[in-house]
Structure 1
Amino acid sequence: MTTPRTFDELVAEAADAPVEGWDFSWFEGRATEERPPWGYARAMGERLARASAALDLQTGGGEVLASAAELPRLTVATEGWPPNVAKATALLHPRGAVVVASPEDAPPPFADGAFDLVTSRHPVRTHWAEIARVLRPGGTYFSQQVGPASAFEVVEYFLGPQPERTRSARHPDAARAAAVAAGLDVVQVRTARLRLEFHDVGAVVHFLRKVIWMVPGFTVEEYRDRLRGLHEQIGREGPFVAHSTRFLIEARKPAA
């Protein structure tokens, strides 16, 4: 019989694990998340195969873009975090894609009408007016985004109850309105609420170190008591269950 790993062992391992990129293989056997029904990576790949010039905003480590079977002749990705820029460059340059280091809050540094497809998976912020600017007439923006109150069971375990304005941020209705205000035609919006399970406290630590906006400034030292309590709760009750929210939005720039 395997001896259960101690709190200190689980936390120390998670605190030392690398967090760059959007590779979530570290969670295998330790956490599970239900996937959205629309299959973003597959649907993105289909659109990339039909595009002539594509831009992937906030690409992370480039893993999702690199999963496409075929990339357009002109493919550009932007990323703001230096470790991710290096990882994306190593992954995407062999595919002929260019990686541009650009802060996530900065407008994309490209000419008007440069791309017929702009994609983004889980952007921190969507610059709708700038997306409309860099799209060619008839071009498409295709994005999977984090929805309102996503994984807030985790957030509120550490931070306590959140105000309604925080819980309702990132709502798909607001994204739809912003797209229309930028002059884009919304083709589709789909939403999903997905089950998320953490099987040990180390998975929670790694999640909060990787998704840094969930509990801003998270450190093991500051939250050690809450983490120990969570470790004991999981031991008594089983996996810690949360629910992530996602929405898919596709918008098109009207043809000239």
Structure 2
Amino acid sequence: MNAALSALREAWLAEEREAFSGWDFSHIADRIVEDSPPWDYLGMAQALMPSSASMLDVDTGGGERLLDLRDHWPAKVVASEGYPPNVAVARERLTPFGVEVVEMDANSPRYDGLSDNQFDLVINRHGAFNAAELTRILTRGGVFLTQQVHGLSTLDLLAHFAATSKFPDATYENATEKQRSAGLQITGGADWTGAFVVRDVGALVYYLKALPWLVPDFSVETHFVELLALQQWLEGGEQLVFGKRLYWLEARAT
């Protein structure tokens, strides 16, 4: 391996080793750029808070997005998180503000520790959820708001690494049907496709290590050839643009 390739490999390995916690991608800010959808999830969540006395943030990560809304929180705020390292981060960040952080798998058939009709508002950004449990824990008239990465998002990027979506059924249509089947009334939602632009391959290394379900067993060593092909495209003047899909959904307990 020549000196230039060795230097590139070492730079990518450094990105692979870079620490990641919570749901904080500030390390690669402006290095991977995504189109913004035509809705504002945080704005929609904020608008629902004044009419809510209690709120749950499901799969809060490290509490980053929840803290963005702190000036608008209702009287009682609970957050849940299922990934143990993130639970510790979320508790460190949120407990000083009076938020209870519950360790909970949002795919679980039963949300242990959460009471029936406990929350006027449940929010969820890019996390799992159980529609039947949402119906149980929401008050009558309570609202569930979620923004999700579509299960068929970035398929073109995954294909470059011979990977496929792990969640192909995670679609707007299926989520809507699950909510209806659980007894919730759909009050809003939309499906959207935009661009996901990778400006340097090192940032992509960091991104794929942070989201290990995208390309199973990803590493610089195992996927060096594929990474090098992307680097050559960039050096040849091509942009690395892939398709990103999101959807949002709002449902109300009746």
Q: TM-score normalized by structure 1?
A: 0.90
Q: Tell me the residue number matched to 2:188.
A: 188
Matched, 1:144 2:147: yes
Alignment of 1:1-256 (within 5 A): 6-68=7-69, 69-106=71-108, 107-109=110-112, 110-123=114-127, 125-159=128-162, 162=164, 168-254=168-254
Output the amino acid matched with 2:156: E
- What is the distance in 2 between the residues matched to 1:239 and 1:17? 25
Deviation digits for residues 165-219 of structure 1 (CA, Å, limit 9, x no counterpart)? x685211111111100000000011121121111111111111111222112222
* 2:236 alignment partner, SS class: helix
- What is the distance in 2 between the residues matched to 1:168 and 1:19? 26
- Stretches of structure 2 that go unaligned for 5 or more consecutive residues are none
- What is the distance in 2 between the residues matched to 1:221 and 1:6? 14
- What is the distance in 2 between the residues matched to 1:187 and 1:49? 18
8 Å Cα contact 2:56-2:78 kept in structure 1: yes
Deviation digits for residues 211-251 of structure 1 (CA, Å, limit 9, x no counterpart)? 22211222222212211222222211333111111111000
8 Å Cα contact 2:13-2:220 kept in structure 1: no
For residue 12 of structure 1, report the CA deviation from its aligned partner: 2.1
Report how many aligned residue pairs link the two structures.
248
- What is the distance in 2 between the residues matched to 1:93 and 1:50? 23
Deviation larger for 30-39 or 105-114: 105-114
8 Å Cα contact 2:56-2:121 kept in structure 1: yes
Deviation larger for 180-189 or 202-211: 202-211
- What is the distance in 1 between the residues matched to 2:216 and 2:230? 19
8 Å Cα contact 1:10-1:201 kept in structure 2: no
Percent of pairs with identical residues: 31
- What is the distance in 1 between the residues matched to 2:79 and 2:137? 13
* 2:72 alignment partner, SS class: coil
